[in-house]
Structure formats: C-alpha cells, structure tokens
C-alpha cells in the first residue's frame, strides 16, 4: 500500500511540476522575443526549495485508518507540535514531507502503527512572512505561502503600489547567507522580457519598501500650480504641460528652476524647455512684462 501510495504521489507531483513549467514557458513565449522561451524554460526546470514550517503555522495531520490520531496543531514558538503517542516533535524548519516522515517513523519505531501512512496539510502559513511598507495600498505583514514567492506576488497581495504617489523603484532588505542584503529593483523592468529574472524571490523577514514618487513643484504663471509626479525622462515642457501650461501672462523666457545641490544649497538655473527635471525641483514661471 505504501509503495502504491508513494508512486501515485510521485506521478501527481511530476504532473504538477510539468504543468507549472508549461505555464511559465507559455507566458514567457507571449511576452518575450524568440530567445526568451528557452530562458524561461531553463528557469522553470531549476530546483525550487520546499516551504519550511515556522512558528505559528497550523497543520492538519492524518494517519490513514487511524482516526484517533487525526490532529490540528499549531507550531509553537519553540518550533514544536504535540502529537498523540509521540509527545513533542520538533517540526520547525522541516518541510511538509519531512514532517510526514518524522511522524511515520515515530509511530513505526514505537510499534504504535505497523505501516503508518501520514498526511500533513499546511492549513495556515504564519511562520514565514514579509513586511510591505511605504506607498502601498494595503501595507502590512504578508505570509510566504510557498518557497518560490516573488516580489510581484507580494505586491499584488498588498494591493499594488499607489498610482499617484508610489515610486517605480522598490527597495528590498533582508539577509542572504547570513549577510545583510539591500537591493533596489526597477519595477517596470521586472516585466520587460530581458529583465524578467529580476523579480526577486523573497525570504522570511524580508522588508519591501516603496518610497514616494519623485515630484517637481510648479508655481507662478501656470494654470494649475502645485506638485506634479515626475515621469521618466520628463522635461520642463512636459512638467509645465502637466500643470495645465502657462497662463496668458506667463512667458517661457521667464522660467527658472530652483534646485538643491548635494551640499544642501539651492541654485537658480535657466533651463530650456527640453531640460530634464529632477526630484525636488521648483519651477517658477514669471509674468511677461509686455
């Protein structure tokens, strides 16, 4: 029975892996140029680590033909669950399959069940979480429900970046191999065919920070003075256009930019309409004298 069950599980796991690989390859083929499907196929076949149980995870444990051993258990702060006949078991850091093997071996060695067939179902994920902060529609702590959870997955759970104020640059901090990690990710490039691999795999206790978008401030003889979001490569002309353009009294010859330098001083510049604007720039449009 064990052999048959393991073979069936193996076939199911193989079919699931094949479906995932096909889905990943199919998506890449639509979004990318001709070479992209081969790269996507290589990523899909790369080994992915299983989720490891952590504090707060809720497990549903079943032993075939032994209903008295059915149990719902929460992983304690020390990483243990209490199981009938076996007592406290250290499951923190184990995968689901390793937990099944641990319980089955304990029941067999203790001569409690002759050929135990154990199934562990992960009901709630609380052990591995990431924090999503900043210009996000729903900031907070989010569980990593699987080991291959990527940055885009968590941002989607959090409702995405706020359209009006969120930056395109996302900062992820955490630890990798015991060392501090800080990565700035250009989010639009994540969805570009050549940079799809930059969709970072997140790990427990990572922090995702979305800063505010860069702003330019416009005042003087413009239709709608105020702060405007700076789009990529925005020029003075585009910034003024986003503010409704000049009034009838405004003049292009009277435009100045006040820009703060790295030393903290503010300098006054005489830009052209094709000059690029920077975060924090203040554009002033003077009144025409004629």
Looking at residue 55, its pLDDT comes to: 85
Domain shared by 196 and 223, yes or no: no
Tens digit of each residue's pLDDT (9 = 90 or more) over 76-85: 989 999 999 9
Our measurement of the distance from residue 56's CA atom to the centroid of its chain's CA atoms, rounded to an integer in Å, reads: 21
Looking at residue 280, its pLDDT comes to: 94
Domain boundary among 125, 155, 181: 125
User: What is the residue range of 2's domain?
Assistant: 1-47
Tens digit of each residue's pLDDT (9 = 90 or more) over 153-203: 999 999 999 988 899 999 999 998 889 999 999 988 888 766 666 788 898
> Where does the pLDDT of residue 149 fall: very low under 50, low under 70, confident under 90, or very high at 90 and above?
confident
22 has a pLDDT exceeding 80: no
How many separate domains does the chain show?
A: 4
Looking at residue 283, its pLDDT comes to: 96
Domain boundary among 212, 228, 255: 212
Mean pLDDT of 233-256: 92
Q: Look at the alpha carbons of 220, 223, 225, 227 in this order and tell me if their dihedral is positive or negative.
A: negative
Q: How far apart are CA 225 and CA 264, in angstroms?
A: 25
CATH number where 260 lies: 3.10.560.10
71 has a pLDDT exceeding 90: yes
Q: How far apart are CA 268 and CA 261, in angstroms?
A: 10
Domain boundary among 125, 140, 168: 125
Domain shared by 32 and 67, yes or no: no
| Average per-residue pLDDT for the chain | 82
Weakest-pLDDT range from 25-29, 179-183, 206-210 = 25-29
pTM beyond 0.85: no
123 has a pLDDT exceeding 70: yes
Residue 11 token pair: 């076939």
Partner residues linked to 287 by β-bridges: 250
């Amino acid at each position: 029975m064990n052999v048959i069950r393991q073979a069936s599980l193996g076939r199911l796991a193989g079919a699931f892996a094949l479906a995932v690989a096909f889905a990943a390859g199919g998506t890449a083929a639509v979004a990318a140029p001709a070479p992209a499907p081969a790269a996507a196929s290589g990523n899909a076949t790369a080994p992915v680590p299983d989720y490891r149980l952590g504090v707060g995870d809720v497990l549903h444990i079943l032993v075939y033909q032994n209903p008295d051993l059915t149990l719902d258990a929460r992983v304690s702060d020390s990483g243990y669950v209490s199981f009938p006949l076996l007592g406290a078991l250290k499951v923190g850091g184990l995968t689901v399959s390793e937990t099944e093997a641990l319980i089955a071996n304990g029941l067999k060695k203790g001569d409690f069940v002759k050929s135990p067939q154990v199934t562990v179902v992960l009901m709630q994920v609380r052990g591995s979480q990431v924090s999503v902060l900043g210009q996000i529609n729903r900031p907070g702590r989010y569980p990593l429900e699987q080991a291959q959870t990527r940055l885009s997955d968590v941002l989607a759970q959090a409702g995405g970046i706020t359209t009006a104020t969120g930056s395109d640059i996302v900062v992820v901090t955490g630890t990798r191999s015991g060392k501090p990690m800080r990565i700035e990710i250009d989010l639009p490039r994540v969805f570009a065919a050549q940079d799809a691999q930059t969709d970072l795999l997140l790990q427990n206790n990572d922090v995702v920070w979305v800063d505010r978008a860069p702003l330019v401030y416009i005042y003087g003889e413009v239709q709608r003075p105020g702060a405007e979001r700076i789009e990529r490569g925005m020029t003075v002309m585009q910034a003024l256009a986003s503010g409704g353009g000049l009034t009838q009294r405004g003049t292009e010859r009277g435009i100045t930019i006040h820009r703060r330098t790295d030393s903290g001083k503010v300098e006054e510049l005489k830009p052209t309409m094709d000059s690029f604007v920077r975060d924090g720039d203040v554009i002033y449009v003077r009144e025409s004298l004629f």
